[in-house]
Structure 1
Amino acid sequence: MSGVVVTRSRAPMVRYRSATGEFGESRLDRVSAEVLLSGVPVREFRWFKGRRFYSGWYWSATTGGLVAYESRLELARVLLADFDPAVVAIAAQPFQLSGMDAGRSRSHVPDLLLQDTSGLVTVVDVKPEHRLARPEVQAVFRWTEELVTAHGWAFEVWSGTDAVVLENVRFLAGYRRPGTIERGLLPLVMEASEQGGTIEELELTLRSQAPVSAARPAILHLLWRGDLQADLTVPLAAGSAVWPCGRSVR
């Protein structure tokens, strides 16, 4: 028909890489979160002298493998995800989303994909707060949120958290690897913690069974795992009160 413009809409597509590095493509409404969470980053990481961003790989206690990050801010979000006992899967740069947005072609690679114990999948974009007001950033995030929430996933924009909490989590992450802990001490620490008290007091209670050099890493490992809790809004120290998960501080 003369004078009529036919607009062809294209379903949003997802491009990803499998665990073996092979590229795959699927419609967003047909893609499996499990495939994306088990894959490798969809884009290559490049390191070169003078690079402005801080990239690397982080060993995750949650996944038992390496998670990539492209900035210190991304690393901070990965740390918090790894520390969160509700998070059971973490993937970095999990896919490239492409499709139409108000007549224009758009594509975007989110920073993280998380899954929690309820099965909820969350797409995370990490961006410094001072860049959130940029119109193009807002447009990309709006478009991404519309697509992934329509697919039943959640969407999060993350720009940072309390500095003290983050520093405490960063410190506890040094004790996340099970192989560096005397695992036989863990039930003894949990039993001793039932009486309440501080980290230092727990160490004194355990002094006949383990030196401080072994007891403290075990306590900090249990804090990392969430079996023990402490107030992380203040700097963690030997005098910090700790208590079993599910109990109130005494």
Structure 2
Amino acid sequence: MPDFFLRLREGGGRVVDVRHPDLLAGEERQFSLTRELCQQAGWEYEVFSGMAEPAASNLRWLSGYRLHRYAPASTIVPAIIEAVGSGISVSAGVRRASRMLRLEPSTVQAHLLHLAFIGVLQVGLDEHLSMETWIAPAREKSPMPRLAVAS
């Protein structure tokens, strides 16, 4: 039985089976049958077996900043985006925003990483995150970081 049904922006649908990589073997027949049924319904079908490293570790780490307590007040967000400019290292963005807002760097860092997690700011998830990671305003606002998932 599939794990998720997603309604796509364009109105179509996608069925997603989620399996641990160790449990993929022996499921080919079930995946094939589900794919066939989805094609008949005009839906996409995907088997998802996890994200590649280091993106998975990075997202797990960033998810620690998803909590509301790390969210900046709406009046602070424009200043953080301005401090980040068109792109800057996390450490430089924290320093710049901290000076602009007259807030403790640790508070600004938590705000910045929260904004990265929810997709207001973007970071490259394919390289290990550090204070030297490049961070920039997202092209369009999204409730979650943009992740490429192979079908």
TM interval, shorter chain, is: 0.7 to 0.9
Q: Which runs of 5+ in 2 are unaligned?
A: 141-151
* AA partner of residue 205 (structure 1): R
Bigger CA radius of gyration:
1
CA contact (8 A) 1:185 1:218 kept: no
- Cα RMSD, aligned residues only: 2.0
Match of 1:225 among 81, 95, 118: 118
Query: Deviation per CA, 1:84-116, whole angstroms, max 9, x where unpaired?
Result: xxxxxxxxxxxxxxxxxxxxxxxxx21122233
Query: How many angstroms does 1:228 deviate by?
Result: 1.4
Structure 1 length-normalised TM: 0.50
**Identity across the alignment (%):** 29
Structure 2 length-normalised TM: 0.79
Match of 2:59 among 169, 189, 192: 169
Query: How many angstroms does 1:179 deviate by?
Result: 4.8
CA contact (8 A) 1:113 1:121 kept: yes
Query: How many angstroms does 1:221 deviate by?
Result: 1.5
Shift >4 Å, 4+ stretches: none
Q: In the aligned structure 1, how far is the partner of 2:67 from the partner of 2:41? A: 35
Equivalent residue number for residue 7 of structure 2: 115
Question: Which secondary structure does the structure 2 equivalent of 1:189 belong to?
Answer: helix
CA contact (8 A) 2:122 2:137 kept: yes
Q: Which has the higher helix share?
A: 2
1:142–1:154 Cα change, 3 Å: same
1:219–1:180 Cα change, 3 Å: closer
Q: In the aligned structure 1, how far is the partner of 2:104 from the partner of 2:51? A: 35
Q: Which runs of 5+ in 1 are unaligned?
A: 1-108
1:215–1:117 Cα change, 3 Å: farther
